[in-house]
Amino acid sequence: MAEIEAFRPTTPGHSPGAGHDNPPVAIQIFPSLDAPLEEKQRYDRWQKSNEMTKCYILASILNVLQHQMQDVELASDIMLSLKEMFGEQGRSARQETMRQIYNTKMAEGTSVREHCLRMISNLNTLKVLGADIDGES
């Protein structure tokens, strides 16, 4: 992670993120010409990883979002934008699933197996939505 952050560029129009008063310190976009070969190779690996990650992200989202995100340079900025757009939906989905778990009662005459499967399904949904499930939840 430190390797990636070491090359995180700050370009004109780059947003430091919501709630940040001070923009990040400008970091060199490319290694200098007299930089050691190892640093140039590390930058090349980071650049290839960033491009590959961007391709995977863009391939997995709707066309409308692809057009909005295609000019974003960093995969991490794409992820931040998507989290800002859809984070609230995840919270409401977690709340709805928790409500279903709390309110689910086994109806008389129904199968214990079906009830258990429904509860397991709801718990799996919570896990996928990123809910922290522990002994106290």
* pLDDT tens column, 17-52: 444 344 344 344 678 888 898 988 999 999 999 999
Tell me the residue range of the domain where 10 lies. 2-16+23-128
Tally of domains within the chain: 1
**137 within a domain of the structure (yes/no):** no
Type and span of the H or E element at 49 = helix 37-59
Q: What local confidence, expressed as pLDDT, does residue 135 receive?
A: 66
**55 within a domain of the structure (yes/no):** yes
Both structure tokens of 54: 């961007």
**50 within a domain of the structure (yes/no):** yes
Which amino acid is it at 92? S
**107 within a domain of the structure (yes/no):** yes
Q: Which residue has the tokens 């780059």?
A: 14
Distance, CA of 41 to CA of 63 (rounded, Å): 34
Does residue 12 register a pLDDT over 70? no
**136 within a domain of the structure (yes/no):** no
pLDDT in tens, 62-105: 888 888 888 898 998 998 888 877 776 778 888 888 899 899 88
